Amino acid sequence: MALLEFSEKGIYCPQADVYIDPWKKVNKALITHGHADHLKAGMTSYLCTPSAAPVIRHRINAAPGQVQTARYGEQININGVSFSFHPAGHILGSAQIRAEYKGEIWVASGDYKTEDDGLCEAFEPVRCHTFITETTFGLPIFKWKKQEILYQEINQWWQQNRANGVSSIISAYALGKAQRILHGLDTSIGPVFCHASVEHVNRIIRNQGIDLPYSMYVTPSTPRQLLKGALVFAPPAVINSNWINRFAPYEIALASGWTALQERRKRKGHDVSFTLSDHADWSALNQAVEACGAETVYTTHGYSDAFATWLRSKGFNAQVADIQFNGDEE
Amino acid sequence: MRDFARLLEKLEKTDRQDSKVLALQHYLRHAEKEDVLWAFTLLLQKEQYLLTDTDTLSRWAMEYTRTPASLFFYATDITFDARETIALLTQDPERTVTAISLARLAKELSGLKGLDQVSIKNYVLSCWAYMDYEQALLFNKLISGGIQPGISSRILAKALSGVSGLEEPTLYDRLCSNWHPDIISLQELLAGKNTDTILAKAYPFPQPVMVTDVPAFDPDQYAWLNQPAGIEIQLIVRNGQLYFHTRTGSSFTGRFPELQSLVHILPDHTVLLGSLIAQAGAENILEQHLLYNKSTATGLLHFAATDLPEDSQENQCRFPYSQRRASLEQIVDRADHPLLILAPLLSGKPATAATPVIIQDRKAMYGKGSFLLPSDQPALYLVLIQATSGTGRRTEFYSDYTFGAWLDGQLVPVCKTKTGIQSRYVAEINDFIRKNTLRQFGAVRSVQPLLVCEIGFKNIERSDKNRYGISFSQPYFIKTGRTIPVTEAAHVKDLLLLAGQPPN
């Protein structure tokens, strides 16, 4: 019996009878982070890191006591299996989950990035025998620029738009990407507004004692004059709605790792793009696999087959994790 | 070079003419002055710098970046363009980047024409070593396969007119004239100095009205002729020079050396309207001429004349078609040149609609009374393998599809289209996609290969830009075939047969 298995409900530990990031109803769920493809409502109990918990409670509308927390590195013993959470650097509170039983160690990475963004807990490699890694960008064509350069590009774009009286709208996910960019902004340029879904998350995160730059809700009573030349965060879902008309004239920027490809940049709906990702690029994935010292690697999400083939050619025992598709990625 | 790369991306991103004009104007205002004329040369495809082909370039890149072939091709299935895969692989975000000007690059590339592959390889590798992704992508495109910006002299004249304040028709004539950035400057072009503007001036092309119902065949009232399959062109002879103009305002003057002898045979100041057509089995000769400006084979191309706007300095436009046709027949007869033929009149109503037919009113003056009967287009079955969300009102739907054909028991991507699909099929296919998603890559979903679709197209050609060597021209969606088994879908080898010979 393997310590972790890929079941139709999620990554399963039979010895402890718990699931990691399950997508069907189970009793005990260990959650790596609060993005929609890793967190589903309806489990009896949840366990996650303290810094991930507020957003998770908000997103699943949790009952008191339903979401419990374990600090990074804290050992949680469930039926002889020792579980612990370790920083994954993906978003605030995101974790890799380590499981140890009779000397055998597995790590499920969840989503991760190795670059320290200064906002969330920085990625730490965890030694293990078997590593389940995400491979969203598991091809050598994905190489990220340093975030400082991207922040500089974003600030320049905003500054130029502001000088022309044009609002700058950034299409970014409400949890994670929006806060990361907000953290990297030069807020001396002008005011920052957020769509309610983004600002909700911002406030939850500020309440955790995280120092995020000041941002405001956009309300129907917000004076148009104030919106002119402002920077606005909006989730991708509202970019095509009437909601953004109030900012006219505006330019829309898409901040996503996928904009590395010209085919995606040429898609309509945005004027400029910034290739900023919260996932590891090719070299970071390779480094992470090397650093954890695993002999066996399972790949999941994105280009899992190509990455597994590559790892096998490098002498790893690698295969694609048999996980079914379970909703939109963030 | 970066400005130009960004301009190209903007141009490729939009189909709207006003957006293209705005993008061009933005470029004209911000670009280095010495680059602008080179940019025009590339946009209007007056000059090509094809040093190698994409396959060779891919081999060099795999060797240079030590990427296994399997990964390289896997990535190219994602990017759909090996030249982009190469640019992504050779870039290094950590490195400090040197930006070079378009003018300097164009001069360097001109100097490499005709050199051996080893020198070219060394040059290419040295460029990859300093270029960033944006520059490398443009560079790779320029040296293999070329760029297809879809910009005509007309659009360029419009953009230029907004920036320079000069009249659009004047600028159009100047852009269509014979010029080269080696010889003149932008100011000289704008001022019309050192260009032979008037000489090269083309007549407006007729705009036939599309008809769907076949009218009664009446050879006395209408002349019926097959639309020649090649590229429509005006052949202009003036002062011992031969000029070629296309409908889009592109000038191909200086190309097609085999036709140069017509200068001595046709009367001076004569303009013929017609089509350049390649002989059967040599269709890619035309493409080589137009895209690559290389003419290895001669005698495989001829000019089929359909109309005569000007004969020996006399404007024929006001005369009825029957009279123009008679003069045209005389000219072709007198010329007696194997490469100059008349587009033959049909003797009866065409039995099959294999090629489009032009129906020309015999009494009408030039450019008037012209009708076009479109042809039936071929179609085949392909399997839906990937889908991406659409744009505009289809943003919420997966309406942009990739289709696969069989190769060695596997379905491989050969065709992408979002054209022609009706809303009821969008709904049906979206339902299918939601239930059959295998994996998701950002906005792209790959699906179980279960749904067969009927795809129409204008033509299939060989292409070394596609990994499987196939390029569909103008593919469009016809309908889904739920009841058709996947095994009925087309095979790559059949497509290659349809596409004919590979380009040399």
pLDDT band at B295 (very low <50, low <70, confident <90, very high): low
Which residues in A lie closer than 8 A to residue B416 (C-beta atoms)? none
Interface test with A, best of B6, B10, B13 (most A CBs within 10 A): B13
CB atoms within 10 A of CB A27: 11
pLDDT given at position B197: 56
Contact A325 B137 (CB under 8 A): no
User: What average pLDDT score do residues B182-204 get?
Assistant: 74
Sorted by sequence, the CB contacts under 8 Å of residue B95 that are 6+ apart come out as: B130, B132
A237: amino acid identity, one letter: A
Judge if B323 and B416 occupy the same domain.
no
What own/partner pairs with CB < 8 Å and gap ≥ 24 does B368-377 have?
Answer: B368/B206, B369/B321, B370/B206, B370/B207, B370/B208, B370/B209, B371/B208, B371/B209, B371/B210, B371/B211, B371/B215, B372/B208, B372/B209, B372/B210, B372/B211, B372/B227, B373/B211, B373/B214, B374/B210, B374/B212, B376/B352, B377/B456, B377/B457, B377/B458
- Nearest residue on chain B to A260, alpha-carbon basis: B88
Judge if B368 and B429 occupy the same domain.
no
pLDDT given at position A329: 47
Which residues in B lie closer than 8 A to residue A256 (C-beta atoms)? 442
pLDDT band at A29 (very low <50, low <70, confident <90, very high): very high
- Nearest residue on chain B to A267, alpha-carbon basis: B13
Judge if B227 and B317 occupy the same domain.
yes
Contact B81 A262 (CB under 8 A): yes
pLDDT given at position B90: 95
B25: amino acid identity, one letter: Q
Chain A interface with B: residues with Cβ < 8 Å: 139-146, 149, 240, 256-258, 260-269, 302-304, 306, 309-310, 313, 325, 328-329
Contact B441 A258 (CB under 8 A): yes
Ordered structural domains, chain A, with CATH: 5-141+279-320 (3.60.15.10), 147-274 (3.40.50.10890)
Which residues in A lie closer than 8 A to residue B84 (C-beta atoms)? 261-262
- Nearest residue on chain B to A268, alpha-carbon basis: B391
Q: For B93, which of A146, A261, A329 is closest by C-beta distance?
A: A146
pLDDT given at position B502: 56
Tokens for B86? 């190469």
| Residue B393: pLDDT over 80 | no
More confident residue, B177 or B501: B177
Contact A325 B85 (CB under 8 A): no
Judge if B394 and B309 occupy the same domain.
no
Q: Are B301 and B277 in contact (CB under 8 A)?
A: yes
Nearest to A198 by CA among A221, A162, A169: A169
Per-residue pLDDT tens for B439-497? 888 778 899 999 999 998 888 888 777 778 888 888 888 888 888 888 889 998 888 88
Contact B74 A303 (CB under 8 A): yes
Q: Residue B318 domain-assigned?
A: yes
CA–centroid distance for B358 within its chain: 23
| Residue A88: pLDDT over 90 | yes
For chain A, the average pLDDT equals 92
ipTM of this predicted complex? Answer: 0.90
More confident residue, B464 or B434: B434
Kindly state the percentage of chain B with pLDDT values over 90.
25
Q: Are B137 and B91 in contact (CB under 8 A)?
A: no
- Nearest residue on chain B to A275, alpha-carbon basis: B93
Residue whose token pair is 């000088």? A163
Tokens for B394? 């289809």
Residue whose token pair is 């909006």? A234
Q: At what angle do helices B33-43 and B102-112 cross, to 10 degrees?
A: 50
Judge if B261 and B346 occupy the same domain.
yes
Q: Residue B222 domain-assigned?
A: yes
User: What average pLDDT score do residues A3-9 get?
Assistant: 91
Judge if B366 and B449 occupy the same domain.
no
Which residues in B lie closer than 8 A to residue A266 (C-beta atoms)? 9, 12-13
Which residues in B lie closer than 8 A to residue A263 (C-beta atoms)? 79-80
Q: Residue B271 domain-assigned?
A: yes
Biggest CA–CA distance in chain A, Å, is 65
Task: Report the alpha-carbon distance of residue A90 to residue A38 in Å, rounded.
Answer: 12
Judge if B273 and B419 occupy the same domain.
no
Tokens for B216? 């009664």
Task: Report the alpha-carbon distance of residue B317 to residue B323 in Å, rounded.
Answer: 10
Contact A141 B79 (CB under 8 A): yes
pLDDT band at B173 (very low <50, low <70, confident <90, very high): confident
Judge if B309 and B388 occupy the same domain.
no
Interface test with A, best of B12, B26, B67, B74 (most A CBs within 10 A): B74
B81: amino acid identity, one letter: D
Q: Residue B163 domain-assigned?
A: no
Task: Report the alpha-carbon distance of residue B186 to residue B188 in Å, rounded.
Answer: 5
CB atoms within 10 A of CB B96: 7
Q: Which of A53-57, A198-202, B216-220, B325-329 has the lowest mean pLDDT?
A: B216-220
pLDDT given at position B352: 66
Range of the domain at B408: 379-499
Q: At what angle do helices B102-112 and B117-130 cross, to 10 degrees?
A: 160
Which residues in A lie closer than 8 A to residue B398 (C-beta atoms)? none
- Nearest residue on chain A to B435, alpha-carbon basis: A325
Judge if B338 and B262 occupy the same domain.
yes
User: What average pLDDT score do residues A69-85 get?
Assistant: 95
Residue finishing a domain among B345, B373, B401: B373
More confident residue, B374 or A167: A167
Per-residue pLDDT tens for B221-255? 888 888 777 788 888 888 778 888 887 766 677 67
User: What average pLDDT score do residues A93-103 get?
Assistant: 95
Q: Residue B170 domain-assigned?
A: no
More confident residue, B387 or B204: B387
| Residue B504: pLDDT over 50 | no
Residue finishing a domain among B335, B352, B373: B373
List Cα–Cα distances, A166 to A163, A195, A229, B430, in angstroms.
8, 18, 5, 36
Which residues in B lie closer than 8 A to residue A302 (C-beta atoms)? 439, 441
Judge if B415 and B273 occupy the same domain.
no
Pairing relationship of beta strands A28-30 and A18-20 according to DSSP bridges: parallel
Judge if B225 and B331 occupy the same domain.
yes
Helix (H, G, I), strand (E, B) or coil at A25: coil
Residue whose token pair is 């993005």? A35
pLDDT band at A141 (very low <50, low <70, confident <90, very high): very high
Residue finishing a domain among B318, B342, B373: B373
Task: Report the alpha-carbon distance of residue A19 to residue A4 in Å, rounded.
Answer: 9
Give phi and psi for B56, each to the nearest 5: -65, -45
| Residue B200: pLDDT over 70 | no
Per-residue pLDDT tens for B57-103? 999 999 999 999 999 999 998 888 899 999 999 999 888 888 889 99
Per-residue pLDDT tens for B140-158? 999 987 788 888 888 999 9
Judge if B255 and B315 occupy the same domain.
yes
- Nearest residue on chain A to B400, alpha-carbon basis: A267
A230: amino acid identity, one letter: A
Interface test with B, best of A262, A271, A305 (most B CBs within 10 A): A262
